[in-house]
Structure 1
Amino acid sequence: MAFEVRHVCAGTAARTMAQAIIHPIDTVKTRLQVTAPALKLQRWQQRIKDNPLDLYVANRRVVHTRNWLIRGPKDVYRGLTGAVLGTIPTAMLYFTTYEWCKTRLEARGAPSAITHLVSASAGAVMSAFIRVPTDTIKHRVQAYMETDVFLGARHILASEGVRGLYQGLVPTLMRDVPEIAIQFALYEKLRKVVESRRGLAKLHTWEHLVLGGFSGACAATATMPLDFAKTTIQCGSSQPVRQVLKAAVQQHGPAGLFRGMTPRVCQTAIMSAMFFTLFEFWKAQLKPHHHRGTRDRLLEPKIWHKRRTHVWKRQFVQQ
């Protein structure tokens, strides 16, 4: 299997598996961001307020938080089918575009940082045209607006047409491109600072995990208002981005723009760490058997001891 094809397949598999695992966090984030919830979602929101999750140690309450699993684990996996079916072609187009741009920019002698940033941004823009329709359906199922992914797709097409599936395209692009730029720039800056202070040529893998997760969390926080607008529009709002943000500030103050921030920051940080591990796993599995070395057969040591940075640059996929 060609080098680029192997990376595309490994990236697609890693992204799909990671998305399936963090889907419950995405469900919670979506439900917190919906401004005009369906009756069933209103009941869910009220129940998690009335039934907090408490943890006592030595008769002292050390945890007091909302019980997101109030309706059981199955409930937070609503829309998983749409998420998986949408992630596969989206990730494949993203990584194909990424590798295509990267190869051509490297051939022209472009700096490494510019190459990865432009390639990742191009991949995000191209894949958005597949991702947005599936995201719209998924969010509506998560928010109890639709009962099933396939029935939801039929209902949206019948009532709103193809245009209804592409609600949220503009805020998606407005969010993804700066998010990638912030995450990449911050990661590169932190990596250089740590390397210079410690006098190292390259960092350990666990350090890349920490820096990548931190930069991803910061990028997610910075683009939170746009993510809120995207979810709101995809869940039925007919207002433009500016009006959605203005209404949120009027109703809830500036904090209204950051609804769902905690699960989204957690989602982005976990996704970054999981993608790295799964990408290495699938890349080793797809390597021809006669090209595999001892380190490939001992996958876990390879993942946790291999030192490299370019996998982080490749993983800047929209969250």
Structure 2
Amino acid sequence: MTDDYDYESLGNNATLGQDAMAGALAGIAEHCAMYPVDSIKTRMQVIQSVARPQVFATAAAAVTAGHQHHPHRHLHSAAIAEGSNYKGMKVASRNLWRGVNSVVMGAGPAHAVHFATYEACKEAFGGNAGGHHPLTTAAAGACATLAHDALMNPFDVIKQRMQLGDSAYRTVRECARSVYTKEGIAAFYISLPTTLTMSVPFQSIQFATYEYFRKVLNPTGEYDPKTHAIAGGLAGAIASAVTTPLDVVKTLLQTRGQNADARIRNASGLMDAVHIIKERYGARGFFRGFKPRVLTVMPSAAISWSVYEYFKWFISSNNNPIQDKNLLSL
């Protein structure tokens, strides 16, 4: 019989570089897995004063027409909306993946910084001690978010420009060059204050609720993939539901350069975007794309935390000679 070991002790054995590597892999897996649904969410959130092609109205209607429990139906409906035959469906399905390269390029380094900062701050703030520490983990999550968003925001702008159904961009380089030429470097960062306003509470809520559910579901602290997936999914669902209004504002600012509405195209920042949304749609306008956002974030968070915790466990176990001896004797 081997001695039991506490999974929580493994996190302290990993270096920041190893935490960063685990975070990078988690970030790429998270964003890529649910990217098509995220594309639909972006299209639903974009505001236009002129009539948009029927494709987007049909795709948006398909998402909200009672299929919230079946994400794959969203993709099928969107494909039908963008092409009436098999060839059209194939093109539409590919279009839902447009811009994913930007996510891969940005998510790896951004999530590496994100999780490394989180682990360092959680340790420094005393979050690894026994018991529940929601404020400590929330503070660590907020610090991690500041580092992540400063790096990720330009890639997110490119991603959302390419996700638009009428986007003419085919490569990340083409999109970046066009945005820079037409709108300047500021276009990549105009949404950063709004992004931080959304992401800091989002990540604070997510990290705090994740750590809470993880400890409630797995009080022994042993590595348990099911616990990480459930806790991550619940944390993602709660955080995304609470912060959807700010996500709508962020989408307006990040896609304003391709909007046919002059008022939206010249939106100056968070408050201006808020006024536009309120004028056009009232309070309900701040929840455009609510269902696909939650459907995107919930499984994405479950995947992200599961991948991160697995690689943290895997990397840390290779640093722990006592654990290696126990594993070999099994």
Q: TM-score range by the shorter chain?
A: 0.7 to 0.9
* Deviation by residue 1:149-205 (Cα, 9 ceiling, x = unmatched): 11110011111211111121011000011112333444566677x67xx9x666975
Contact 2:137/2:208 (CA < 8 Å) preserved in 1? no
Q: Which amino acid aligns with 1:17?
A: A
* Deviation by residue 1:56-85 (Cα, 9 ceiling, x = unmatched): xxxxxxx99781233432111000111110
- Is structure 2 residue 79 aligned with structure 1 residue 69? yes
2:188 is matched with which residue? 165
1:209 to 229, 233, 236: 229
Work out the CA distance in 2 between the residues paired with 1:113 and 1:179. 14
Per the alignment, do residues 248 and 6 of structure 1 end up closer, same or farther by CA in structure 2, a change over 3 Å counting?
same
Work out the CA distance in 2 between the residues paired with 1:252 and 1:221. 19
2:318 is matched with which residue? 288
Contact 1:157/1:164 (CA < 8 Å) preserved in 2? yes
Per the alignment, do residues 22 and 274 of structure 1 end up closer, same or farther by CA in structure 2, a change over 3 Å counting?
same
Work out the CA distance in 2 between the residues paired with 1:134 and 1:53. 28
Contact 2:127/2:137 (CA < 8 Å) preserved in 1? no
For structure 1, which segment, 5-14 or 141-150, has the greater mean C-alpha deviation from structure 2 after superposition?
141-150
- Is structure 2 residue 276 aligned with structure 1 residue 247? yes
Work out the CA distance in 2 between the residues paired with 1:142 and 1:23. 10
Per the alignment, do residues 181 and 281 of structure 1 end up closer, same or farther by CA in structure 2, a change over 3 Å counting?
closer
Work out the CA distance in 1 between the residues paired with 2:320 and 2:312. 14
CA drift of 1:238 comes to 3.1
Query: Identity of aligned pairs, percent?
Result: 26
Gaps of 5+ in 2: 1-12, 67-71, 81-88, 257-264
Per the alignment, do residues 294 and 69 of structure 1 end up closer, same or farther by CA in structure 2, a change over 3 Å counting?
farther
Contact 2:137/2:204 (CA < 8 Å) preserved in 1? no
Work out the CA distance in 1 between the residues paired with 2:200 and 2:227. 25
2:31 is matched with which residue? 19
1:179 to 178, 194, 202: 202
Per the alignment, do residues 294 and 165 of structure 1 end up closer, same or farther by CA in structure 2, a change over 3 Å counting?
same
Contact 1:132/1:165 (CA < 8 Å) preserved in 2? yes
1:238 to 234, 242, 266: 266
Contact 1:140/1:146 (CA < 8 Å) preserved in 2? no
Work out the CA distance in 2 between the residues paired with 1:132 and 1:242. 19
Between Structure 1 and Structure 2, which shows a larger proportion of strand residues? 1
Work out the CA distance in 1 between the residues paired with 2:245 and 2:60. 24
Q: Which amino acid aligns with 1:45?
A: F
Q: TM-score, normalised by structure 1?
A: 0.75
Per the alignment, do residues 234 and 50 of structure 1 end up closer, same or farther by CA in structure 2, a change over 3 Å counting?
closer
- Is structure 2 residue 285 aligned with structure 1 residue 263? no
Per the alignment, do residues 295 and 20 of structure 1 end up closer, same or farther by CA in structure 2, a change over 3 Å counting?
farther
DSSP 3-state at the match of 1:69: helix
2:18 is matched with which residue? 6
Q: TM-score, normalised by structure 2?
A: 0.73
* Deviation by residue 1:256-310 (Cα, 9 ceiling, x = unmatched): 111111111011110121123222443355453985749979xxxxxxxxxxxxx
1:31 to 36, 43, 49: 43
Per the alignment, do residues 216 and 296 of structure 1 end up closer, same or farther by CA in structure 2, a change over 3 Å counting?
farther
Give runs of aligned pairs for residues 39-58 of structure 1, distance below 5 A.
42-48=53-59
Q: How many residue pairs align between the two structures? A: 285
Work out the CA distance in 2 between the residues paired with 1:52 and 1:208. 28
Q: Which amino acid aligns with 1:120?
A: G
Gaps of 5+ in 1: 56-62, 298-319
Q: How much is the aligned-residue C-alpha RMSD, in angstroms?
A: 3.8
Q: Which amino acid aligns with 1:149?
A: V
* Deviation by residue 1:215-266 (Cα, 9 ceiling, x = unmatched): 3212211111100000110001432222322322332232211111111101
Per the alignment, do residues 109 and 221 of structure 1 end up closer, same or farther by CA in structure 2, a change over 3 Å counting?
closer
- Is structure 2 residue 139 aligned with structure 1 residue 118? yes
- Is structure 2 residue 121 aligned with structure 1 residue 101? yes
CA drift of 1:213 comes to 1.8
Give runs of aligned pairs for residues 70-89 of structure 1, distance below 5 A.
70=80, 71-72=89-90, 73-89=93-109
Q: Which amino acid aligns with 1:238?
A: N
DSSP 3-state at the match of 1:288: helix
